[in-house]
Amino acid sequence: MTVKKVYFTPYGVGLGHASRLITIAEKVKTNNINVKFSSFGEAVDFISRYGYQCNQVPPVEFSWNSQGSFSMKNSVSNIPSWFKNFTTQVVKEVEMMIKFSPNVVVSDSRLSSIVSARLLGIPSLVLLNQIKLLLSPKLHSFKAARFVENLNGEFIGMLWSLSNEILVPDLPPPYTISENNIWNTNSVIKKIKYIGFIAPKMNISEQRIIKVMNFLNFSKNKPIIFFHISGPSKTRLPIVRKILDAQKHFRNKIQYVVSEGKPNGNIEPYKLSDNGWYYEWCPIRDELFALSDILVLRGGHTTMSQAIQFGKPIISIPIENHAEQISNSCKIKKIGIGIMLKDGDLSSEKLSEAISKMLNDNKFTSRSLEIMQFCEKLNGVQNVVNIVRSYI
């Protein structure tokens, strides 16, 4: 029996990219199909938690300031190290691919592995919801900056087109959440396929819901809010502190869970109040997505995708100056399924007001259910699995 091999290479910042490829790996692997991963940062430990071998490469990532927002200044100063680490990534990936000898390389937003696969003549696929790098809102107000953004997008698009296919884990137009990152980039048009969301909608049984409700001592008489905070480590704690400060406004009106999203954190919760709990790492995330009335999230594409698949209205607090998250958050507002709050001037009062507005206006929930029904016509995970298998 010939053993086939698939090499998965997610981007290592945040856990969304790794989460998507783990979902695919779970469906692809069989007795005669071996899989291996390569990544960096927190994603390495996250992947290892699922029992997969993960090669570690040097990081290529953006910079964040002490307030948890994107830092253009620090990122620009890191450009020399980016090139150095990117080159090292390519060299290491070539070595590891030669040793593993995969039939196909599946990248999630990692360009180095696409370049390495092309050098070795190995077919490659890339999951990508960010073709162009969007500039910050301040810069975007200048015509010259928008020209540079588009020019940069076409150049980067040509690099992504080194892959055999570009699989966009998003809804087709007009509901594409990452529209500003994908649309109007001519260099990738021939290779793009909209495949639907990859973030799986878990089938949560009523029995599991009841078990979690009992564990948390929640009732059906009050709304349930899940504050699911994810993203780079420096960006999480500042927003968590703001959420905890907002307790005084809503602790008697709602039932809630706050998750810090710390990959190696404690999975045992502690009480914040009679109606609230805090997790460093939440092991009942899917159950909470299913039973909550409102989800309070960052603007990451993967987490938003899953929220939409559960038909839940969203309060989004994108990382300050993080253009992609801001763009995603604007789109959920545009299609009527959420409210966007600005991280920089977020206050406990504004957060409480947004929760009250959403609880008192049915249109958010009804629109969310409508978009969910559209999502159910697409099976993003199976679409990717079928494409991967076609190469092996």
Q: Quick one: 217 and 190 in the same domain?
A: no
Q: Given this model, what pLDDT does residue 248 score?
A: 80
Strand bridging mode 104-108 / 54-56: unpaired
Across the range 308-332, mean pLDDT stands at 92
Q: Tell me what the pLDDT averaged over the chain comes to.
A: 89
Based on the fold, state whether residues 193 and 233 are members of the same structural domain.
Answer: no
Residue 220, SS3 per DSSP: coil
The rounded Cα 107 to chain-centroid distance in angstroms is 14
Question: Both 216 and 177 in a single domain?
Answer: no
Same-domain check for residues 334 and 383: no
Q: Please state the rounded mean pLDDT for residues 140-169.
A: 86
What is the DSSP secondary structure assignment for residue 232, as one 8-state letter?
S
In angstroms, rounded to a whole number, what is the distance separating the alpha carbons of residues 343 and 240? 11
Map tokens 């905070």 to a residue.
229
- Token pair in block for residue 179: 């529209």
Query: Residue 92: is its pLDDT beyond 60?
Result: yes
| 214-223, 248-257, 362-371, 381-390: the lowest-pLDDT one | 248-257
Judge if 65 and 116 occupy the same domain: yes
Select the more confidently predicted residue: 229 or 83.
229
**Structural contact between residues 41 and 105, judged by C-beta atoms closer than 8 angstroms:** no
Domain, as residue range, for 371 = 206-375
- Out of 181-185, 206-210, 222-226, 384-388, least confident range: 181-185
* Closest by CA position to 57, among listed 79, 34, 29, 87: 87
Q: Greatest CA span in the chain, whole angstroms?
A: 63
pLDDT score of 199: 73
Between 202 and 64, residue with greater pLDDT:
202
pLDDT at 107 over 80: yes
pLDDT of residue 74: 46
**Rounded Cα–Cα distance for residues 189 and 161 (Å):** 9
Q: Are residues 164 and 269 in the same domain?
A: no
- Is the confidence at residue 123, as pLDDT, over 70? yes
The larger pLDDT score, comparing residue 307 to residue 68, is at 307
283 vs 135, more confident: 283
**Residue 63 has what pLDDT?**
45
pLDDT band at 68 (very low <50, low <70, confident <90, very high): very low
Residue type at 378 in one-letter notation:
L
For residue 180, the domain's CATH number is 3.40.50.2000
pTM given for the model: 0.80
251 and 193 assigned to the same domain: no
Which DSSP string corresponds to 60-123? ----B-TTSSB-HHHHHHTHHHHHHHHHHHHHHHHHHHHHH--SEEEEES-HHHHHHHHHHT--
Q: Give 343: exposed, middle or buried? Use CB within 10 Å, 0-12, 13-18, 19+.
A: buried
Q: Taking residues 142-151, what's their average pLDDT?
A: 76
Percent of the chain at pLDDT > 90 equals 64
Same domain, 103 and 224: no
Please indicate, yes or no, whether residues 161 and 188 belong to a single structural domain of this protein. Answer: yes
Total of domains in the chain: 2
Judge contact between 226 and 254, C-beta under 8 A.
Answer: no
Q: How far apart are CA 140 and CA 133, in angstroms?
A: 12
Q: Are residues 46 and 102 in the same domain?
A: yes
User: 255 with 221: CB under 8 angstroms?
Assistant: no
390: helix, strand or coil = coil
Same-domain status, 123 and 216: no
Question: Do 323 and 384 share a structural domain?
Answer: no
Mean pLDDT of the region 339-350:
89
pLDDT of residue 387: 97
